[in-house]
Amino acid sequence: MHLLFLNYEFPPVGGGAAYASLATARELVSMGHRVDFLTTATPYAESDAEIDGVRVFRVRSYRRGIHESGIGGALSFIVCAMSRLRAIARRTRYDACHYYFGLPTGLLTRLPGPHQYCPYVISLRGSDVPGYDPGLQWQHRLLLPVTRRIWRGAHRVVANSHYLRSLAIASAPDVVIDVISNGAAAPDTSPVRQETRTDVRVLAVSRLIARKGLDVLIRALASVRSADLSIDIAGDGPCDAALRRLATACGVANRVRFHGFVNRAGLSSLYARADIFVQVSNVESCSMALLEAMAAGLPIVATKVGGNTELIQEGLNGLLIEPGSVNDLSGALLALALDRPRRQRFAAANSSLAQARFSWRTVSRRYEAIFQEAVQASASSTIR
């Protein structure tokens, strides 16, 4: 098959969906398919390129930051991508198109052009689903009729967790929605755990925004004074300065390392040196960072929200806590810090689980089946 992927975010710009879309495209190429990718230019790559067999077409668009586009930035991608999509679709007859995010990327399905004759699949990621992000409530109310048209026109709509699927069905009960989680690859770097150190390092990989709950993590660290704990925070965002001030105010600035934006090689090193991974969001669909931590063989502490509960089974591969609870989080961190055998059991379970259920090959085979079904359905309707 010859497939066209579309995403307004592309590594290193954006969050987990950027890496998920590229990883899936690469895997499908390795499985013998051809994949083109229409996306935004980044400060690191402005021209078209080929990445591991994936042809990448880039258009310029506005962004506030590497992990933040804003409404204006998202819409600017649609405006800039319109003519490029038409030109690409005129030159190449694609078997199926894959749009990451119903909004904004899915808006391209409503615009006239040769791409409209191609069956398409929509991947829902979180912020594009009404009810997921309270900060986008009025935008989703305004665009709900458009959202429903985009979903109803798709051959299939795919959510990355059962939690996200339930949110989506509440807005469009007549749409059939599948669930395919994100995947994860084991990091390139071998673990360097506590065998060579006396301290316990806690890792968080996240955009620095309010709903990620990193303020709770810093407060929890401040309340745990009987264990030699420190935190590594990888990521950037608008809350960076406020979180640094909080660490200072709580008296733990010397125990919190802010790494800012970290590339994939740097993340592999952080995963390898960590002893515990924390994911403390107030809302989450299917965390790529959490899956990567599982693949890296880390025990997990995660909030009992959204897709986290589909990845972490209490007492088997991690601990689940209530979102926003400093006491719950500090208690969980202390319990794992003082119980190395338990950390090792959780770590082994996560490695096995990531390999068995969350490899990119497993994810891509499920998408492959959907694309093949779309091609067959399109051929049948053409014959009729």
Q: What is the CATH number of domain 194-357?
A: 3.40.50.2000
pLDDT at position 189 is 60
Gap between the Cα atoms of 26 and 53, Å rounded: 7
pLDDT at position 46 is 77
pLDDT at position 41 is 85
CA-wise closest residue to 179 among 25, 280, 285: 285
The domain defined by 2-183+360-383 folds into: Rossmann fold (3.40.50)
The residue ranges of the chain whose pLDDT is under 70 are 62-73, 188-197, 226-227, 380-384
pLDDT at position 304 is 97
pLDDT at position 61 is 75
Strand order in the sheet with 34-40: 49-51, 54-59, 34-40, 2-6, 96-100, 120-124, 156-159, 177-179
- Spell out the domain ranges in the chain: 2-183+360-383, 194-357
**Tokens 């063989």 correspond to what residue?**
297
β-partners of residue 123 are: 100, 158
Cβ-contact 25, 57 below 8 angstroms: no
Gap between the Cα atoms of 377 and 57, Å rounded: 28
pLDDT at position 208 is 93
Q: Hey, do 2-183+360-383 and 194-357 end up sharing a CATH topology, with the first three levels equal? A: yes
β-pairing verdict for 54-59 and 49-51 = antiparallel
Helices 264-273 & 288-295, crossing angle to 10 degrees? 60
Cα-only R_g, the chain:
21
The residue count of the chain comes to 384
pLDDT at position 68 is 59
β-partners of residue 120 are: 97
Gap between the Cα atoms of 263 and 160, Å rounded: 24
pLDDT at position 259 is 96
pLDDT at position 239 is 94
Gap between the Cα atoms of 244 and 230, Å rounded: 14
